[in-house]
Amino acid sequence: MSLEYYLVLSALLFTIGVIGVLIRRNAIIIFMCIELMLNAANLAFVAISRSLGEATGQVFVFFVMTVAAAEVAIGLAIIVSVFKHRQTVNVDEVNSLKG
Amino acid sequence: MENIPLVLIISSLVKILIIVHLLLIGVMIMIWAERRVSGWMQDRLGPNRVGPQGLLQPVADGLKFLFKEDLIPDHVDKPLYVMAPAMLLVPALVAVAVVPFGSSITVLGHEIPLQIADVNIGILYILAITSLGVYGVVLGAWASNNKYSLLGGLRSSAQMISYELTLGLGIIGILMLTGNTLSLRTIAIEQGAYPWQWNFLIHFPAFLAFTTAMFAETNRLPFDLAEAEQELVAGYHTEYSSMKFAMFFMAEYMNMIVGSAVTVTLFLGGWHFFGLENMGGPVWSGIISFGIFFVKTAIFLFVFIWVRWTLPRFRYDQLMNFGWKFLLPVALTSIVVTGTLWITTNSRLIVGIGNVVSAFIVASIVAGLLVMRTPKPAIQDSDNRLTPTALDAIE
Amino acid sequence: MNAEQILFILFGAVSLIGAIAVISFRHPIYSALSLIVTFFAQAGLFVLLGAHFVAAVQVIVYAGAIMVLFLFVIMLLNLGTLSVQGAIGRKLKGLAIILGILFAAEGIYIAVNALNDTAVASAESGAAAVTITTYDIGELLFSKYLLPFEVTSLILLAALIGVIVLVKREGQEEN
């Protein structure tokens, strides 16, 4: 399998993530779509790492995963806090800072 | 791919068949053993009517489950409700693939390792697969659409995430001393023939932490918060009946067996026992090694039952405190001490002693701190009656 | 077609279907499940690419921890009963999908064409057979990338403290 197929798949997954962020209003699903995009990037990293024959790409996947884990912990805590105050996870309803 | 000898392909299939059936039979024996041993511990008989010593009792139970009506309550989320038991059972079955259950047998000039697949990331595979078991519990709980089930599922998910850390950290010390591999077979081989060469003495605190975390991961008492009968009816499987319930039940025992086998491989020398495993010819030594492994696993399984009928259940906040504030520091200390002492002295003896001493000190300090700070009563959330325990976990 | 191509198509299709399911299911629990399926298919792709360590870590971190957290929060907030009402309008949705398709086309164009000149494409033919072991990754991580590695621990620490602070304040307000 050549590199292009993996990169195309990665691009498609990333796009689905982007579309998800655009069309869904549920904060948790938006968050999942962000995870999807990070994963698409990881796929590209690993594919390129394989075709270059060196491990650097996989090391970066490791970093991406660490950041993703931290981000999920914080993000979900924020969502829980917001839900406790406003009883909603709809991102359009959380707009009291809007001018 | 094309040049694999036929012997190896057939032997692989035979190994898979044997192991899967051993697991299933093991589950039946465990169910019988649990009831008999608990009877023995409580000075009563336990089931002894069906077959000799009641050995056929699990068969009778199984038949009963099969003939019961497969009830799906109206209020459940049907697809998830049906999927959940399988999602718990499958990881338990799949995890056993990388466990080495004996040295090797030579057939027709081919050396056949007694292991379904010797993956070079063996331990990571085990960690990955066992971490999936939680989905069966959580989704079954959620799909049941019942507040007690939901509470069970919430408790279970928080518990699994917390104790998985300790499970992973407990292994790292071993990996540091085992050369450049994550393969379970190599780890088993590198432990010598004699008990004082096995990992549980070198990494005693890690061994205790790992075993405790293993109990928590298999949802056994004293960690069976997810099904706590007195509080939650039957927790995540309240709404389940017939074969679906039986699958949950089997998965629990299967997880125990796999957990014991992994612990034996990692900490208790695998199939080694005073050089006994090298006796006999190329075939017999393999079979003897398998027997040794089997006996060790059985002994460890007895410990599972023993603990269950001895210790009372933790309260939820105790569970979280114990996992995060006691087990985790002990496991972390073990890693630091193992690494430091191994680099400076290169002696397993010193690492072993240092581990025990440091763990004792850290455990005393942590326990002292935990006792000194008298736990305040759990915050009662009056608005949200459904999830007070779950909220405690994040507060 | 050899085995690798068949597996690539299988895993690729599963991951795409799973990803589409994530954004189309109404209920967050089903979205989370679809995302788990996608992550699994990606772990399969990583194995195909010879990245066994990354595949295992993918399952441990994403499927085993991150998604359990998602499920935990979905169940904790009991979002099933109050699924989000004001979804965005049909026109906006159409616009978003058109933009998405344009974006995908751009990505595919880059993936297929723009790599031709770079080192990646030139190295591709020779080095395809090299498998990268956990040992290689560990060696890089603890030598060349030691500083970034230490910094990730700081990120995790920051996340830990952040979560505690976020939730702690919440608890005190309630009292």
Alpha helices in B311-347, H assignment, sequence order:
316-321, 328-345
* Interchain CB contact of A30 with C (< 8 Å): no
Which carries the bigger pLDDT value, residue B376 or residue B9?
Answer: B9
Least confident among B82-91, B125-134, C105-114: C105-114
Per-residue pLDDT band at A49 (split at 50, 70, 90) = confident
Domain assignment present for residue B15? The answer is yes
pLDDT value at position A87?
A: 74
DSSP codes of every residue in A44-92? HHHHHHHHHTSTHHHHHHHHHHHHHHHHHHHHHHHHHHHHHHHS--BTT
Determine what percent of chain A is predicted with pLDDT higher than 70: 94
pLDDT value at position C14?
A: 92
Over residues B75-99, the pLDDT tens digits come to: 778 888 888 888 888 888 888 888 8
pLDDT value at position C38?
A: 92
Task: Look at residue B362 and tell me whether its pLDDT is greater than 70.
Answer: yes
Task: Look at residue C80 and tell me whether its pLDDT is greater than 60.
Answer: no
DSSP codes of every residue in C7-36? HHHHHHHHHHHHHHHHHH-SSHHHHHHHHH
* Interchain CB contact of C102 with A (< 8 Å): no
Task: Look at residue C104 and tell me whether its pLDDT is greater than 50.
Answer: yes
C136: tokens are 């290689």
Reduced to 3 states (helix: H, G, I; strand: E, B; else coil), residue B303 is: helix
Of C29, C59, C171, the CB nearest to B128: C59
Per-residue pLDDT band at A21 (split at 50, 70, 90) = confident
* ipTM associated with this complex: 0.86
Q: Which residue of A has its CA nearest to C7?
A: A1
pLDDT value at position C174?
A: 44
Sign, CA torsion B118/B123/B128/B131: positive
Q: Do C160 and A73 count as a contact with CB atoms less than 8 A apart? A: yes
Q: Which residue of A has its CA nearest to C135?
A: A55
What value does the mean pLDDT take over residues B341-360? 83
Over residues B177-231, the pLDDT tens digits come to: 887 778 888 888 888 778 777 888 888 888 888 998 888 888 777 777 767 666 7
pLDDT value at position B393?
A: 47
Residues B391/B379, Cβ–Cβ less than 8 Å:
yes
The minimum CA-CA distance between C103 and chain A, rounded to whole Å, is 7
Domain boundaries, chain C: 1-84, 88-133, 145-175
Least confident among A28-42, B97-111, B142-156, B225-239: B225-239
Place of tokens 């041993």: B37
Per-residue pLDDT band at B9 (split at 50, 70, 90) = confident
pLDDT value at position B384?
A: 47
pLDDT value at position A38?
A: 92
Comparing CA positions, the residue from B28, B210, B243, B217 lying closest to residue B137 is B217
Task: Look at residue B105 and tell me whether its pLDDT is greater than 80.
Answer: no
Least confident among B8-12, B127-131, B335-339: B8-12
What value does the mean pLDDT take over residues A23-42? 88
Comparing CA positions, the residue from B169, B194, B120, B176 lying closest to residue B324 is B169
* Interchain CB contact of C37 with A (< 8 Å): no
> What pTM does this model have?
0.83
Please state, in angstroms and rounded to a whole number, the distance separating the CA atoms of residues B55 and C84: 54
Q: How many other C-beta atoms lie within 10 A of the C-beta of residue C91?
A: 8
Please state, in angstroms and rounded to a whole number, the distance separating the CA atoms of residues B334 and B345: 16
What value does the mean pLDDT take over residues C36-41? 91
Chain B and chain C share a number of CB contacts under 8 A equal to: 89
CATH of A3-86, one of 1.10.150.120, 3.40.800.10, 1.10.287.3510, 1.10.275.10: 1.10.287.3510
pLDDT value at position B385?
A: 46
Angle (deg, nearest 10), helices C28-48 and A27-52: 0
Which carries the bigger pLDDT value, residue C166 or residue C37?
Answer: C37
Domain assignment present for residue B360? The answer is no
Over residues B38-72, the pLDDT tens digits come to: 888 888 887 878 778 778 888 888 888 888 877 78
Of A15, A61, A77, the CB nearest to C103: A15
Cα C66 to chain centroid distance, Å, stands at 10
Domain assignment present for residue B330? The answer is no
The minimum CA-CA distance between C84 and chain A, rounded to whole Å, is 6
Of C36, C52, C69, the CB nearest to B121: C52
Q: Do B127 and C167 count as a contact with CB atoms less than 8 A apart? A: no
CA C140-B170-C58 angle, 5° bins:
50
The chain-wide mean pLDDT, for chain B, equals 80
Which carries the bigger pLDDT value, residue C33 or residue B284?
Answer: C33
pLDDT value at position C17?
A: 92
Which carries the bigger pLDDT value, residue C130 or residue B26?
Answer: B26
What value does the mean pLDDT take over residues B353-360? 84
Q: Which residue of A has its CA nearest to C130?
A: A53
DSSP codes of every residue in B234-258? TGGGTT--HHHHHHHHHHHHHHHHH
Q: Do B154 and C56 count as a contact with CB atoms less than 8 A apart? A: no
Comparing CA positions, the residue from C110, C94, C15 lying closest to residue A11 is C110
What value does the mean pLDDT take over residues C63-73? 85
On chain A, the residues whose CB falls within 8 A of the CB of C104 are 11-12, 15
Strand locations in C66-170 (E): none
Domain assignment present for residue B350? The answer is no
* Interchain CB contact of B154 with C (< 8 Å): yes
Task: Look at residue B395 and tell me whether its pLDDT is greater than 50.
Answer: no
B57: tokens are 């009792």
Of C101, C128, C152, the CB nearest to A51: C128
Domain assignment present for residue B355? The answer is no
CA distances from B100 to A22, B25, B126, B195, B366 (A): 49, 19, 12, 18, 37
Comparing CA positions, the residue from B166, B226, B88 lying closest to residue C75 is B226
B198: tokens are 């096995």
Q: Which CATH architecture has domain C1-84?
A: Up-down Bundle (1.20)
* CB-facing half-sphere around the CA of B314: CA atoms within 13 A: 22
**Listed ranges B136-145, C41-50, C104-113; the one with the highest mean pLDDT:** C41-50
Of C87, C155, C170, the CB nearest to A81: C170
pLDDT value at position B388?
A: 47
What value does the mean pLDDT take over residues B13-35? 87
The minimum CA-CA distance between B395 and chain C, rounded to whole Å, is 6
pLDDT value at position C130?
A: 64
Q: Do A35 and C86 count as a contact with CB atoms less than 8 A apart? A: no
Which carries the bigger pLDDT value, residue B208 or residue A93?
Answer: B208
CA distances from B186 to B123, B181, B259, B266 (A): 11, 7, 18, 10
* Interchain CB contact of A23 with C (< 8 Å): yes
Please state, in angstroms and rounded to a whole number, the distance separating the CA atoms of residues C49 and C127: 12
pLDDT value at position A4?
A: 80
Which carries the bigger pLDDT value, residue C126 or residue A95?
Answer: A95
Q: Do A9 and C12 count as a contact with CB atoms less than 8 A apart? A: yes
pLDDT value at position B394?
A: 46
Over residues B276-330, the pLDDT tens digits come to: 777 777 777 778 888 888 888 899 888 888 888 888 887 777 788 888 888 888 8
Residues B124/C53, Cβ–Cβ less than 8 Å:
yes
Q: Please, is B220 exposed, middle or buried when counting C-beta atoms within 10 Å of its C-beta (0-12, 13-18, 19+)?
A: buried
Which residue of A10, A13, A71 to mutate against C (max C Cβ within 10 Å)?
Answer: A13
Task: Look at residue B119 and tell me whether its pLDDT is greater than 50.
Answer: yes
Domain boundaries, chain A: 3-86
pLDDT value at position C123?
A: 54
Domain containing residue B213: 6-315
Task: Look at residue B390 and tell me whether its pLDDT is greater than 60.
Answer: no
Strand locations in chain B (E): 104-107, 110-113
Reduced to 3 states (helix: H, G, I; strand: E, B; else coil), residue C130 is: coil
Q: What are all long-range contacts of C126-133, with beta carbons under 8 Å and residues at least 24 apart?
A: C126/A53, C127/A51, C127/A52, C127/A53, C128/A50, C128/A51, C128/A53, C130/A50, C130/A53, C130/A54, C130/C50, C131/C50, C132/A49, C132/A50, C132/A53, C132/A54, C132/A55, C132/A58, C132/C50, C132/C51, C132/C53, C133/B120, C133/C52, C133/C53
Q: Please, is C147 exposed, middle or buried when counting C-beta atoms within 10 Å of its C-beta (0-12, 13-18, 19+)?
A: exposed
Least confident among B35-39, B147-151, B274-278, C48-52: B274-278
Q: Do C15 and A13 count as a contact with CB atoms less than 8 A apart? A: yes
pLDDT value at position C172?
A: 54
